[in-house]
Amino acid sequence: MNFDRHAVAAPTRELANWIAGLSYDDLPQRTREVVRIAILDTVGAGVYGYCTPWAQMLLAWARRGAAGAGEAHVWGEAQLSLRCADAALVNATASHAFELDDYHNAKIHAGTVVIPAAIAVAEKLGSSGSDLVTAIAAGYEVMIRSSLALNPSAARLRGWHLTGVTGPFGAAAACASLMKLNTEQTAWTLGLAGTQGAGLWAFNADGTMSKRLHAGKAAHSGVLAAELAQSGFTGPTQIYEYEDGGVLKAFSDASDPAPLTRDLGAVYHLDQTSIKPYACCGSTHSYVDAALALRKKLGAPWDTRRRVRVGTCKVVDVQCGFDYTPSSALNAQMSLRYTVAAALIDGQVLPAQFTDAKLSDPVITALARKIELVPDPELDKLYPKDFAGWVAVEHNGDWVRVDIMNPTGSIHAPIDARGITEKFRGINPQLDADAIAAAAFAIEQHSVRKFLGLLVNPQSKRSAA
């Protein structure tokens, strides 16, 4: 790495200097593997999310502003149709459209922000697969470290959706890497990105679409920040640490700048990215695992007369412990009660569990409303380092309990390349999952546009018109 120590004066500049000097050869083999897996998983979620109403609404809005030849593809479409930033906006929103995208215990969804932004810029520039992998690694790492510095639990309890708050940093880092910006320009890019960061948890009040937008807007902000910085538009070069309006103080009362740069270049937090096997909030996945284990142990069909208790930490209780009332898919995907009930009754928590009919299913709804949440101080000690949880069921006069320290899909119980390929196939059966997976896992040998061409179904009616 070409790391200029003389350019380092503060966390923002140290990060900028690291991004500007990062090369493919600097990345550990494991980190490269994680990035390749993340590309396949994110693109799969994005192609699936393309058809959701919220992604289509945003695409229609972007089309109205498009003029002339496009710079980048909407994933799954055959023609270039949008400006780079708008393609990132649409593809990121689609990737986050149905809670299928990856997550990190820093309480962020990095892939859904960083990868759409990086792919859009790489398309425009004709970047190599190796440069794309390098950029995505930089983006993930910066986004994760930004959230860790804020103290994820503290910032979340203030109502911030950290994907929206820290996502612009991740997208900006990836774009700056691809555009080969120098340290000063990259510092401006981070500053311009950070001043756009936002995202409020108020969507939980009524299960609205705004959560999906947070990822898209973060990706768009990162592209915009890098393009402006490249043109000479300056941004604050102390965006993290400045006392009056720096991100750390503005978003959290418990922030610490140390995670931004501690072991930078030696430790890659992105290696601990989790893949979702279930179409719901990542904080509910341990509970889904526990519920499925109980269903297997006690037998199916599920006896809905059994009492069910669920142990929660404070953050999960605030975030997902609300009373369940049928409304939107997002409302159910964020509901601990609904996801546990669906797991116990249906034996799965996949897109099929979030249709309009399922959301108001009287059996699932009745069980969800009866589930008792139990505050557990021991879980508070673990979260968010470990996304732990437990579910207990009354059976023949006794309580049968299953504890899960970390869910399926985490680094403690990883989903391998074959499993991610099968996930892609399951949600996008119209595409050649094997060919797409093979290209993703060897992305360094492929052009970005050739890879995106594999996402186009010849029988599809998708159009850029």
Q: Nearest 5°: CA angle at 328, between 293 and 289?
A: 10
Q: Report the side by side order of strands in the sheet with 308-312.
A: 372-375, 308-312, 389-395, 398-404
Tokens for 370, please give them: 């009866």
Predicted local confidence at residue 66, as pLDDT: 79
Q: Look at residue 9 in the predicted model and tell me its pLDDT.
A: 56
Coil, strand or helix at 18: helix
In this prediction, residue 166 carries a pLDDT of: 98
- Answer left, alpha or beta for residue 154, where phi above 0 means left and psi between -120 and 50 means alpha: alpha
| Total Cβ atoms within 10 A of residue 300 | 11
Rounded to the nearest 5°, which phi and psi values hold at 68? 75, -160
Alpha carbon distances (Å) from 454 to 85, 114, 223, 296: 22, 21, 24, 38
- The per-residue b/e assignment along 25-34, b for 16 or more CB within 10 angstroms, e otherwise, is ebbeeebbeb
Q: What is the pLDDT of residue 8?
A: 42
Count H helices and E strands in the chain, helices first: 22, 6
Q: CA triplet 119, 407, 144: central angle to 5 degrees?
A: 40
Helix (H, G, I), strand (E, B) or coil at 399: strand
Handedness of CA 17, 265, 385, 40 (dihedral sign): positive
Helix/strand/coil percentages in the chain, nearest 5: 55, 10, 35
Nearest 5°: phi and psi at 200?
-110, 145
Q: E strands, 27-160, where?
A: 72-73, 80-82
Helices (H), 151-200: 152-157, 162-178, 183-194
Q: Of 157, 154, 152, 120, which Cα lies nearest the Cα of 139?
A: 120
Q: What is the pLDDT of residue 464?
A: 57
pLDDT tens, N- to C-terminus, the chain (465 residues):
544 444 445 999 999 999 999 999 999 999 999 999 999 999 999 999 999 999 999 999 999 987 766 899 999 999 988 999 999 999 999 999 999 999 999 999 999 999 999 999 999 999 999 999 999 999 999 999 999 999 999 999 999 999 999 999 999 999 999 999 999 999 999 999 999 999 999 999 999 999 999 999 999 999 999 999 999 999 999 999 999 999 999 999 999 999 999 999 999 999 999 999 999 999 999 999 999 999 999 999 999 999 999 999 999 999 999 999 999 999 999 999 999 999 999 999 999 999 999 999 999 999 999 999 999 999 999 999 999 999 999 999 999 999 999 999 999 999 999 999 999 999 999 999 999 999 999 999 999 999 999 999 887 767 655
- Work out the end-to-end distance of the chain between its first and last CA atoms, rounded to an integer number of angstroms: 44
pLDDT of residue 459: 77
Residue ranges covered by each domain of the chain: 5-272, 282-404
In the CATH hierarchy, which fold is given to the domain comprising 282-404?
Answer: 60s Ribosomal Protein L30; Chain: A; (3.30.1330)
CA distance 175 to 218: 12
Residue 200 burial (CB count, 10 A): 15
- pLDDT for 2: 47
Question: What CATH number was assigned to the domain covering residues 5-272?
Answer: 1.10.4100.10
Q: The pTM is what?
A: 0.95
The torsion angles phi and psi of 30, rounded to 5 degrees, stand at: -60, -40
Q: Token pair of 398, please?
A: 């006794």
